[in-house]
């Protein structure tokens, strides 16, 4: 059985999807772009500021579902420019200090609202 997870502490979906779905002990978080909750605007700044905001949004959704970053098993990072990979990694590493999850990173042509980064996440509680 699936349960929709929603929190005001993360941006509202900008399309026909849920912030996250909990199915059994697995949480599937939709791709998070660096939208500032409440304002609905894109985080100003470069890749580091935008990566931090996307991860803060993920953290708020994890918390709303009773999970934490320690439960994340897989992330997918979408970047509009692979030249930003190193700077994104510097911020990403601050959120996953021990036993980081599996991850893939891809370059894409564009992201919603002109974002530089989008991150989707899967977390599991055993």
66-122 pLDDT, tens per residue?
999 999 999 999 999 999 999 999 999 999 999 999 999 999 999 999 999 999 999
Q: Among candidates 118, 52, 76, which has minimal Cα distance to 60?
A: 52
Mean pLDDT of the residues in the chain: 97
Mean pLDDT of 40-50: 96
The pLDDT value recorded for residue 41 is: 95
Nearest to 30 by CA among 48, 4, 50, 8: 4
Q: Domains of the chain (ranges plus CATH)?
A: 2-124 (3.30.1330.40)
Paired sense of beta strands 102-107 and 72-79, if any: parallel
Tokens of 104: 């893939």
pLDDT class for 14, splitting at 50, 70, 90? Answer: confident
């Amino acid at each position: 059985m699936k349960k929709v997870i929603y929190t005001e502490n993360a941006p509202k979906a900008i399309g026909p999807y849920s912030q996250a779905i909990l199915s059994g002990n697995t949480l599937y978080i939709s791709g998070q772009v660096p939208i500032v909750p409440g304002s609905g605007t894109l985080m100003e700044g470069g890749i580091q500021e935008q990566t931090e905001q996307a991860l803060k949004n993920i953290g708020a959704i994890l918390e709303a579902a009773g999970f934490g970053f320690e439960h994340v098993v897989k992330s997918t990072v979408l970047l509009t420019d692979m030249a930003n990979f190193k700077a994104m990694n510097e911020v990403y590493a601050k959120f996953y200090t021990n036993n980081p999850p599996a991850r893939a990173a891809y370059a894409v042509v564009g992201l919603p609202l002109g974002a530089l980064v989008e991150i989707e996440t899967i977390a599991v509680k055993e």
